[in-house]
Amino acid sequence: MNKENKSKIKNNETFEKFNQKNDIFNRSLWDKTVRSKKTEKFYNDYTKPPESENRPEGYKHKDYAFRNATWFMSDTFSNIHKNNGRAEGFTDEFKVQKPGTKSKYIFKSNKDLTDEIKIIAKKLGADLVGITKSNPKWIYSHKYRRATDEVKPNKIDSSLNRVIVIANQMDKDLIDTAPSALSGSATGLGYSNDLTTILSLSQYIINLGYKAVPSQNDTALSIPLAIEAGLGEYARNGLLITKKFGPRVRISKIFTDLPLECDKPISFGVKNYCSICNKCADSCPPRAISFDKPSFKQINKSNIKGIKKWSVDAEKCFKFWASQSTDCSICIRVCPYNKDFDKLTHKIGIKLANTPFRYILIKLDNFFGNRKKPSEWWANK
C-alpha cells in the first residue's frame, strides 16, 4: 500500500453528505437538546465582553475584551450582508468581491499557474497552501439559515472544480493558556487572518478573469479537503495535523475554475502516533475525545455518517465551551504535535514520531505541554 492510499479517507455504504444544519453551532440555535441559557450567554459574550472581575484569571474583563477584538474583522465580514439573512464565512460563502476583468489571463502552463497561485497565496498571508479537486463528498448537502431557521439544498457552480485550501497557524503563546477566554484570541486571530488571505486571493483570481468563491466554515467540510490537498493528516482530536504547525491551524478554502494542478495527500506518522497516544482524550475535561480505534460509528448527528475515523462528541465538547463561556483549545495545546518546528529538537522529534521511537517520545512528551498562566502571558513572560 503506497502512502497515498494509506491516507485516503474511507467511507462505507451508509455514507451521507453532511447537512450543515447539524453542525453543533447551528444545532445550538434550533435544537433544544443543545440550546441552553449557557449557550446563549456564550454567544452574547462575543458581542459584549463580560465585565466581572470575580472570575479566575484568563476569564476577566480584559481577556474577553481582547478575545472579542481579535474577532473584529471576522465579525465585520460575517455581518456584511446580515440584512439578507446571510452569515458569510459561517453558513454562507462570501459575496464581497469586486467584479473582475472580461478577458481571462492565459498562463504559460497549468504548472506555472499553480506555482504562481501558491506564491501569491503566501504573500497574502497563507502559511500553507494545497490544491485538490472539489470532491462532492465534502460539500454540505444542505445549508442552514440562522436568521430564519431555514434548511436549503446547497448548490455550487459545477465549473468550480478546484479547491485552494489554506491553513494559517494559530498563535502558540495564546493557545498555551488554554482553557481561557484569553486563548480564544488565537481562534479570533486565526479567523481574521484567514479572511484577509482568502478574500484578497479570491480578488486576485477574479482580477484575472476567473471565478473564485471564498469559504470558511460554510459550503463544505474543510478538514477532508485539507487532507486531500496534502496539508496534513487526520488526528484523534478530530483535527488536521500539519507538518509545520501540528494541530495549531485554521483552515479556509476557495472554490475556483482555475485549471490548477492538484497536490497529493501526505502521511508522516500521525495515524500511528495517535493510535498509541491518548493525550488529547486524557486531557479533555468533558471526555469528548474517544480512546477507541477509528470506526464508522456516528456518536450523534453532528458527526458525518459512514466515514471511518476518530470521531469527537461535539455535544459534550460544545457543552464544555458554553460552561466556560469561551471556546476550548486544550486538545490543541496538549497535542505532542503542537510544537515550534523551527527548533531543531522538534524537527528531529517529528521525524522520530514516524518510527517506532514514538513509544519513547510519548513518555518524554508528558514532561512538556503544561498550561501557561494567563497572568504570565499578560506580563509578557
Q: Position of cell 497515498? A: 4
Q: Position of cell 459575496? A: 95
Least distance in Å: CB of 45 to a second copy? 11
* Distance separating alpha carbons of residues 249 and 252, to the nearest angstrom: 10
Amino acid at 308: K
Using CB under 8 A as the binding rule, whether residue 199 contacts a second copy is answered as yes
Sheet holding 128-133, edge to edge: 128-133, 162-169, 249-256, 212-215
Find how far residue 327's CA is from the centre of its chain. Answer: 13
Using CB under 8 A as the binding rule, whether residue 288 contacts a second copy is answered as no
Nearer to a second copy, 102 or 363 (CB): 102
Options 14-22, 198-206, 270-278, 306-314: segment touching a second copy (CB under 8 A): 198-206
Options 92-100, 144-152, 220-228, 317-325: segment touching a second copy (CB under 8 A): 92-100
Task: Output the DSSP codes for 338-369.
Answer: -S-TTSHHHHHHHHHTTSTTHHHHHHHHTTS-
Nearer to a second copy, 46 or 341 (CB): 46
Q: Are 85 and 147 in contact (CB under 8 A)?
A: yes
Q: What percentage of the chain's residues is helix, strand, coil (to nearest 5)?
A: 40, 15, 45
CA 373-376-377 angle, 5° bins? 90
Using CB under 8 A as the binding rule, whether residue 9 contacts a second copy is answered as no
**Residue from 43, 105, 359, 368 in contact with a second copy (CB under 8 A):** 105
Using CB under 8 A as the binding rule, whether residue 328 contacts a second copy is answered as no
Using CB under 8 A as the binding rule, whether residue 204 contacts a second copy is answered as yes
**Residue from 36, 141, 207, 300 in contact with a second copy (CB under 8 A):** 207
Using CB under 8 A as the binding rule, whether residue 196 contacts a second copy is answered as yes
Using CB under 8 A as the binding rule, whether residue 11 contacts a second copy is answered as no
**Residue from 51, 83, 148, 370 in contact with a second copy (CB under 8 A):** 51
* C-alpha separations of 220 from 1, 103, 251 in Å: 29, 29, 12
**Residue from 39, 70, 169, 338 in contact with a second copy (CB under 8 A):** 70
* Distance separating alpha carbons of residues 200 and 206, to the nearest angstrom: 10
* C-alpha separations of 55 from 46, 51, 62, 372, 373 in Å: 17, 10, 12, 17, 14
**Residue from 49, 130, 238, 247 in contact with a second copy (CB under 8 A):** 49
Using CB under 8 A as the binding rule, whether residue 61 contacts a second copy is answered as yes
Options 98-106, 126-134, 282-290, 328-336: segment touching a second copy (CB under 8 A): 98-106
Sign of the dihedral defined by the CA atoms of residues 10, 11, 17, 21, in that order: negative
Options 17-25, 129-137, 186-194, 357-365: segment touching a second copy (CB under 8 A): 186-194
Cis peptide before 56 (omega within 30 of 0): no
Residue 342 grid cell? 523551527
Q: Are 280 and 178 in contact (CB under 8 A)?
A: no
**Residue from 44, 84, 101, 295 in contact with a second copy (CB under 8 A):** 101
Residues in region 107-166 near a second copy by CB under 8 A: 115-116, 119-120, 123-124
Residues 6+ apart with CB under 8 A from 210: 100, 104, 105, 256, 257, 258
Residue 234, strand partner residues = 240
**Residue from 9, 96, 262, 362 in contact with a second copy (CB under 8 A):** 96
Using CB under 8 A as the binding rule, whether residue 55 contacts a second copy is answered as no
**Residue from 25, 66, 273, 337 in contact with a second copy (CB under 8 A):** 66
Using CB under 8 A as the binding rule, whether residue 168 contacts a second copy is answered as no
Residues that bind a second copy (CB under 8 A): 47-49, 51, 61-62, 64-66, 68-70, 72-73, 75-76, 96-99, 101-103, 105, 115-116, 119-120, 123-124, 171, 174, 185, 189, 192-193, 196, 199-201, 203-204, 207-208, 378, 380
